[in-house]
């Protein structure tokens, strides 16, 4: 691995490699994909534990994250699905639970009556605020000094890049990515 590739955030972008990744790098890539999946499940467990500590048992962690995604906006159902990468039936089911539990209102758009708009109720805004506080506690535990802040930024950049690469692979499947 080159010094330039190991360097931190101050390094200039490395030039593209002409050689394939070696076995160790391939193993790290495989491990990263599995780690992302495991971390997602663990994150849902953390959200679930936070909900239970607050005495909230009428929704699950996926619905709680939908509340966070809605935030102060009034997105359409389609917008929410695209932001959160939800499947149609899963999103519809979760939204039904959130409406029935009183966390969101679902109404027709004033511009296009066929489009459903979502908005947090007072109960939903309270939950969003509580979840935001939970995220602050988590971030504080993760970032205790400048080095850890830099690590977080580097991890975020790497994961964003991986998201773009995987998105391109899906979007342009069969078209070649050279």
- Structure pTM? 0.76
146-170: pLDDT as tens digits:
999 999 999 999 999 999 999 899 8
Residue with the two structure tokens 């607050």:
54
What distance lies between CA 177 and its chain's CA centroid?
25
- Whether 17 has a pLDDT exceeding 90, the answer reads no
Q: pLDDT digit string (tens) for 72-130?
A: 989 988 888 887 777 667 888 999 999 999 999 988 767 776 778 899 999 999 999 99
DSSP bridge partners of 104: 120
Fold annotation for 23-170: Arc Repressor Mutant, subunit A (1.10.10)
What was the pLDDT predicted at 125?
A: 97
pLDDT band with cut points at 50, 70 and 90 for residue 1: very low
Whole-angstrom CA distances from 52 to 41, 48, 56, 70, 121 are 17, 6, 5, 21, 20
Neighbour-count burial of 80, counting CB atoms closer than 10 A to its CB (0-12 exposed, 13-18 middle, 19+ buried): buried
């Amino acid at each position: 691995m080159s010094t330039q590739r190991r360097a931190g955030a101050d390094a200039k972008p490395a030039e593209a490699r002409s050689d394939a990744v070696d076995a160790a790098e391939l193993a790290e890539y495989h491990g990263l994909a599995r780690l992302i999946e495991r971390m997602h499940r663990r994150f849902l467990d953390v959200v679930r534990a936070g909900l239970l500590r607050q005495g909230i048992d009428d929704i699950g962690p996926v619905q709680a994250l939908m509340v966070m995604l809605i935030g102060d906006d009034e997105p359409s159902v389609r917008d929410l699905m695209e932001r959160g990468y939800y499947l149609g039936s899963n999103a519809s089911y979760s939204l039904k639970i959130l409406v029935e539990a009183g966390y969101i209102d679902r109404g027709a758009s004033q511009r296009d009556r066929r489009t459903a708009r979502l908005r947090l109720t007072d109960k939903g805004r309270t939950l969003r605020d509580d979840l935001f506080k939970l995220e602050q506690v988590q971030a504080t535990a993760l970032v205790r000094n400048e080095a850890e802040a830099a690590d977080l930024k580097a991890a975020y950049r790497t994961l964003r890049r991986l998201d773009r690469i995987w998105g391109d692979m899906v979007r342009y499947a069969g078209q070649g990515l050279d």
